[in-house]
Amino acid sequence: MKTFGKRAAGERLERMKASPRWVDGAFQNLHPILPQLKTGVPMPPLREFLCSDASRVPAAPLPSLDPREAWLKPPETGLRATWLGHSTVLLEIDGLCVLTDPVWGERASPVRIAGPKRFQPVPVPVAGLPPLDAVIVSHDHYDHLDYPTILELAKLDVPFVTSLGVGAHLQSWGVPAERIVELDWWESVTIAGGRGKISAAPSQHFSGRGIGSRNGTLWSSFLVQTDARTCFFSGDTGLTSEYAAIRQRFGAFDLVMLEVGAFHPAWADIHLGPEYALEALALLGGGAFLPIHWGTFNLALHPWDEPAETLLALAPRRSVTLAMPRLGEPFEPARLEAVTPWWRSAALQKKAEPAPEAPSESLPADAIQWPID
């Protein structure tokens, strides 16, 4: 199946093998997880995923906005972000437009008839995006690297910046090799004629799109920089002390995007969740905080709105500048206002819901190793 992508070979594979992260035929995390994350919590059994729990999906469509009219005017402060669902964010930074982990597909899955289904469509079609200066793909899991979306973006004259090995998937789906830049941790590339820079940095995760492909490509966090501003994008990660090293290398952040959804105590080494996201934010030195990786797919056992409610309760106690925009609502981090819990309008509505669609095994959905035909 084309949706599985393609494994690296030739010069691409040789470059991967030259990485310090490549050990015994696969990529490895830099060091073991922090001791406080070793909770001893067992992996949840399959029956918990299969249970009919309507709290894991919204009872009604979430409020959303079409951002296209707002995008016609440049941000007054030089930096604006639009959360389009899950980990997809459009960053407008000093005249540049960068898109992160673009996922427009209906399911986070290699097939159209099974797998986690998105709660509602993206607020704007791919064709409605402004001209892009770069697309970032953090790693190759289905809820971050989406086959139908890449097919659409491949038609545009835009560079893709991604982690080592992921370019093999992109190229097999029609992205020209000259428009693909694959980075190891701490490597950088300039974009838009030198007006911006994208750098890869450590994260604590894993990769794979099928049986036998586990950790065959790298996973990364990313930095988007101009002369005036720096933004941090976590991709998928658990809590790692490398966030302190990222802070030392890159300094203060104007916007920090951290994953907060699809968490479980047993997955603390690969997914932050809201509480560990706040710890990661502290290691990074703070900055306006945009939670991502929630409110779009049913990928875990917690209620769909739990990440938002937890952050709403905890952020003020830690003096965190929290950004919780509606889907498609552009905001400028320098002009954030008090958070309005807009998600409650969907949580309070009641209607008959089918049982949540479950992952195929007792692992977070991005860990699914789908069979290869």
What's the CA gap between 16 and 20, in Å, rounded? 9
Domains, the chain, ordered by start:
16-29+44-330 (3.60.15.10)
Q: What is the pLDDT of residue 11?
A: 97
For 10, residues 6+ apart whose C-beta sits below 8 A from its C-beta are none
Residues in the chain: 373
Q: What is the CA radius of gyration of the chain?
A: 19
Confidence (pTM): 0.90
Q: What is the pLDDT of residue 31?
A: 72
Q: What is the pLDDT of residue 55?
A: 84
SS3 call for 218? coil
What's the CA gap between 108 and 272, in Å, rounded? 19
What's the CA gap between 231 and 252, in Å, rounded? 9
CB 50, CB 353: distance < 8 Å: no
Q: What is the pLDDT of residue 347?
A: 67
Q: What is the pLDDT of residue 12?
A: 98
The label of the residue with tokens 């290398």 reads: 249
CB 198, CB 222: distance < 8 Å: yes
Q: Please classify residue 73 by burial: count the beta carbons closer than 10 Å to its beta carbon, then call 0-12 exposed, 13-18 middle and 19+ buried.
A: exposed
CA atoms within 13 A on the CB side of 117: 11
pLDDT tens digit at each of 373 positions of the chain: 899 999 999 999 999 999 999 999 999 998 765 444 445 666 565 555 555 566 889 989 999 999 999 999 999 999 999 999 999 999 999 999 999 999 999 999 998 888 899 999 999 999 999 999 999 999 999 999 999 999 999 999 999 999 999 999 999 999 999 999 999 999 999 999 999 999 999 999 999 997 667 899 999 999 999 999 999 999 999 999 999 999 999 999 999 999 999 888 888 889 999 999 999 999 999 999 999 999 999 999 899 999 999 999 999 999 999 999 999 999 999 999 999 999 998 866 654 344 444 443 334 445 444 322 2
What torsion, rounded to 10 degrees, do the Cα atoms 50, 51, 53, 56 define?
Answer: -30
